[in-house]
Structure 1
Amino acid sequence: MSTPYSPDQQPHTPSMAQRGYALPSTPGAGQRPDEPIVITPAEGEVDSLETTTEAASAPKRAEPARQRHLAGVSNLADTAGRRASRLSAAAKKKSGGLGRGRSKRKQSAPAQTPGIGVYQPPIQPSPVPSRPDSAQTPRRRRKGQREDIMVPPVKFSSYYGRNIVKPAPWKSEIPSYLYLGGLAAGSALVAAGGEMTGRTQLQRNSRLIALAALGGSTGALVKDLGKPSRFLNMLRTVKLTSPMSIGSWILSGFGAFSAVAAFSEVMHYVLPEDVPGAAFWPVGDRMASLGAGAFAAPLAAYTSVLLSDTATPTWHGAYRQMPFVFVGSALAAAGGAAMAVTDPSETAPARRMAVGGAILEYGAFELMERALGVCAEPLHDDKPDVFLRTAKAMTLGGAALAAVGGGRRPLAVAAGLALNIGSALTRFGIFEAGMISARDPKYTVLPQRERLEQRRRDAELAGRSGATTSGSV
């Protein structure tokens, strides 16, 4: 077993040239610079090469670890140098093609000696400057600063452009039904008053007006429903929580008594006076008048409940004042109709009822407009505003004519027409305003916020009053 040599006592190893190898100085034709160089021994030197290899194998096995380490580092340096050279040439080629005004001619890579490379460390990207600490940390709201200052103005919109409240699928038949129903109810009251006071002409005309208006109202309702069987289906049950169900029964009861009263008026002119049972005729006549009058007031108010019981903002917000508006309008229309077709000598009660109904309608409408708040804006929109302004002028003008010149037939006819036009336009104006409020989400959201804020203030006030009471005790 041989002892390993120290670094200072290593044996002399002949060089490659001394051993007879042919070392090419430059790469051959068709050979790339980074290809490995094949070293071939000279002719006639194969025996010496084998001898030299066997002689050098023993000291190579005893080569120190430091020499092997240096050889490995040299190989790594050569590989890294060649790789860095290729990357540098590619980068120069790319930058030369992108710059404006630069030459697009390819630049030749620097020649390198085969097998020998210059190590170039890879280019490290420059570090991105970090954000300041003030930008990384979230901003804190200053003490006492209001959050709503940064909130943009509210722009009301709805989900996918749809309405928050679906507008009622009603058309002009419904306001016509409301007007004719109120006219029928008011005319029944005028007929009942004429029957009790002995005004036969006023009684007869008012009964016929009530029956005709009832027929027109029922026809408009059936047209809106689509077919008569749907109206009959509503009479199969009685649902106290449904205005439509209750209204259908009110309309049916009023229609029955009004038909009997009108039939009685016709029979007075058809049947002879000595017909059997003529003594009981006045009793039946009185019962028909009282029955129609009993259903007249609910019928006039029911038409307003039909609107205010919906989710439409303007209609629902006026559920306290709208019944008075509709009842006053019905009285004014019925009084005006009686004045237009009856001799002025018998229309004194009708004139007073027309004037009183107009005053009630005007006062209740003003209170309704104030109570609605923001939901009163649709009343002043284009179409409703025209309707309601004209209705107010016609109603007040008709009432003034009835009060001043109701005893004269031409003025009484003009007053009656003006009152009926005003009553009809009031229904149409309120109807159109409700449809507008249903299409705009503003009139649904703002009243809800106002109610929530009012409840919060009431709760705070109740809490303060409770604390004050407990403290005093």
Structure 2
Amino acid sequence: MVDKAEFRSYYGRPILKEPAWEQPDVPLYLFLGGAAGAAASMAAMADRTGYPTLTRTGRIVAAGGATASVVALIHDLGRPTRFLNMLRVFKPTSPLSVGSWILAPFSGLAAASAASDLTGRLPVAGTVAGGAAGVLGPAMCTYTAVLLADTATPAWHESYRDLPVLFAGSAVASAAGAALLVVPPRELRPVVRLGLLGSAVELAAAFRLEHAPRLVSETYRTGRAGKLLTASRALTATGAVLSLFSRRRRSVGLAAGIAFLAGGLCTRFGVYAAGVASAQDPKYVVIPQRERARDSRAHSAPVPAQD
């Protein structure tokens, strides 16, 4: 019998460098930007269907989340000029470039919409800005997932199909959670539906992410990432259940909103932790590479000639 092989790198160093982004800056950037995008879309829909308090809440959350997201990103970059430098060119093949050009106009539009709503000035311009921010909302919810998946970090790169869905569902649930903290009971019906939809998408995507037939899936089930994502599932499910009773008691709605928001935070920190863990262990680099090489050889093998 031969002992199970252990995958090690030269001098005990990881094959890949760990993500160089700072914590908690980048996980907060992922969370705040996604929640802002979903809130802007929620506000745009609420404005069209006659929910004034929900409209104002969504616009304020969108503006505040986008601004805080930019602050977290700039703090990670070190200098504001580095963020401005990313806007010097537009490169469609670069998720970072595309993401910068989504974040910058979205932040301006969300801020203009919220300012118009709060001051009562230029209401038509504010409505147009809010609608445009709502159109960009889905991209705000998901572009950060594409940005992570475009890196060489195994847990993120191998999960490029699931991460955008997970981030979208989590962002929608977080936006609903923020609304549950403020919106009066008479306007909660669409918020509850939005929270249930977001939580269902998030939980389904999380299950697929953690149980997909990929080696890196275990990084989402073990260690710090596993604990955070387990907490995220529990909080999101709790928020969904409590939201069903939020129209009866204000305290229940507050608890549901807090649970949704806390679940969204745990999701982003958990995904980030899984990426770090996958970069530290050489097996998550070596084994998938060998499997891809074996599959490539199998597909390129010559077919025997038929008599």
Give the alignment's TM-score, normalised by structure 2.
0.94
Q: Distance in 2 between matches of 1:211 and 1:372?
A: 39
Q: Could you list the runs of 5+ residues in structure 2 that have no partner in the other structure? A: none
Query: SS of 1:345's equivalent?
Result: helix
- CA 407–206 in structure 1, closer or farther in 2 if over 3 Å, else same: farther
Q: Is the 8 A contact 2:245 2:253 kept in 1?
A: no
Equivalent AA in structure 2 for residue 425 of structure 1: C
Q: Does 1:401 align with 2:252?
A: no
Q: Please state how far the C-alpha of 1:412 moved relative to its aligned partner.
A: 1.1
Q: Please state how far the C-alpha of 1:240 moved relative to its aligned partner.
A: 1.6
Q: Is the 8 A contact 1:351 1:406 kept in 2?
A: no
Q: Is the 8 A contact 1:318 1:372 kept in 2?
A: no
| 1:419-434 aligned within 5 A | 419-434=260-275
Q: Does 1:446 align with 2:287?
A: yes
Q: Please state how far the C-alpha of 1:152 moved relative to its aligned partner.
A: 5.4
Equivalent AA in structure 2 for residue 365 of structure 1: A
Q: Please state how far the C-alpha of 1:450 moved relative to its aligned partner.
A: 1.6
The residue aligned with 2:53 is 201
| 1:268-347 aligned within 5 A | 268=120, 281-347=122-188
Backbone CA RMSD of aligned residues: 1.7
Report 1 or 2 for greater relative contact order, CA contacts < 8 Å, sequence distance ≥ 6: 2
The residue aligned with 1:254 is 106
Q: Distance in 2 between matches of 1:372 and 1:313?
A: 14
Q: Distance in 2 between matches of 1:406 and 1:424?
A: 25
The residue aligned with 1:179 is 31
- CA 369–385 in structure 1, closer or farther in 2 if over 3 Å, else same: closer
Q: Please state how far the C-alpha of 1:453 moved relative to its aligned partner.
A: 2.3
Counterpart of 2:8 (choices 145, 154, 157) is 157
Higher Rg: 1
The residue aligned with 1:241 is 93
How high is the sequence identity, in percent, across the aligned residues?
42
Q: Please state how far the C-alpha of 1:259 moved relative to its aligned partner.
A: 1.3
Q: Is the 8 A contact 1:406 1:415 kept in 2?
A: no
The residue aligned with 2:65 is 213
Q: Distance in 2 between matches of 1:343 and 1:428?
A: 31
Cα offsets for 1:63-91 (capped at 9, x unmatched): xxxxxxxxxxxxxxxxxxxxxxxxxxxxx
Q: Please state how far the C-alpha of 1:171 moved relative to its aligned partner.
A: 2.1
Cα offsets for 1:135-192 (capped at 9, x unmatched): xxxxxxxxxxxxxx7x653221112222211111112110010000011111101111
- Paired residues, what number? 306
Query: SS of 2:254's equivalent?
Result: helix
Q: Is the 8 A contact 1:188 1:289 kept in 2?
A: yes
Q: Distance in 1 between matches of 2:79 and 2:213?
A: 36
- CA 371–463 in structure 1, closer or farther in 2 if over 3 Å, else same: farther
Q: Is the 8 A contact 2:224 2:270 kept in 1?
A: yes
Q: Distance in 1 between matches of 2:234 and 2:59?
A: 28
Q: Please state how far the C-alpha of 1:325 moved relative to its aligned partner.
A: 0.2
Higher helix share: 2
Give the alignment's TM-score, normalised by structure 1.
0.62
Equivalent AA in structure 2 for residue 463 of structure 1: V
Q: Distance in 1 between matches of 2:4 and 2:129?
A: 62
Equivalent AA in structure 1 for residue 72 of structure 2: A
Q: Distance in 1 between matches of 2:56 and 2:187?
A: 12
The residue aligned with 1:136 is none
Counterpart of 1:417 (choices 258, 261, 273) is 258
| 1:42-61 aligned within 5 A | none
Q: Please state how far the C-alpha of 1:397 moved relative to its aligned partner.
A: 0.9
Q: Does 1:190 align with 2:20?
A: no
Q: Please state how far the C-alpha of 1:406 moved relative to its aligned partner.
A: 4.3
Structure 1 stretches (4+) deviating beyond 4 angstroms?
none
Q: Please state how far the C-alpha of 1:237 moved relative to its aligned partner.
A: 0.9
Q: Distance in 2 between matches of 1:406 and 1:224?
A: 40
Q: Is the 8 A contact 2:185 2:246 kept in 1?
A: no
Q: Does 1:222 align with 2:63?
A: no
- CA 384–406 in structure 1, closer or farther in 2 if over 3 Å, else same: farther
Q: Please state how far the C-alpha of 1:350 moved relative to its aligned partner.
A: 1.5
Q: Distance in 2 between matches of 1:383 and 1:428?
A: 9
- CA 171–378 in structure 1, closer or farther in 2 if over 3 Å, else same: same
Q: Please state how far the C-alpha of 1:436 moved relative to its aligned partner.
A: 0.8
Q: Please state how far the C-alpha of 1:348 moved relative to its aligned partner.
A: 1.4
Equivalent AA in structure 2 for residue 418 of structure 1: A
Q: Distance in 2 between matches of 1:353 and 1:343?
A: 16
Q: Distance in 1 between matches of 2:126 and 2:113?
A: 6
Q: Could you list the runs of 5+ residues in structure 1 that have no partner in the other structure? A: 1-148, 272-280
Equivalent AA in structure 2 for residue 243 of structure 1: P
Q: Is the 8 A contact 1:354 1:399 kept in 2?
A: yes
Q: Distance in 2 between matches of 1:369 and 1:381?
A: 10
| 1:338-357 aligned within 5 A | 338-357=179-198
Q: Distance in 2 between matches of 1:214 and 1:240?
A: 22
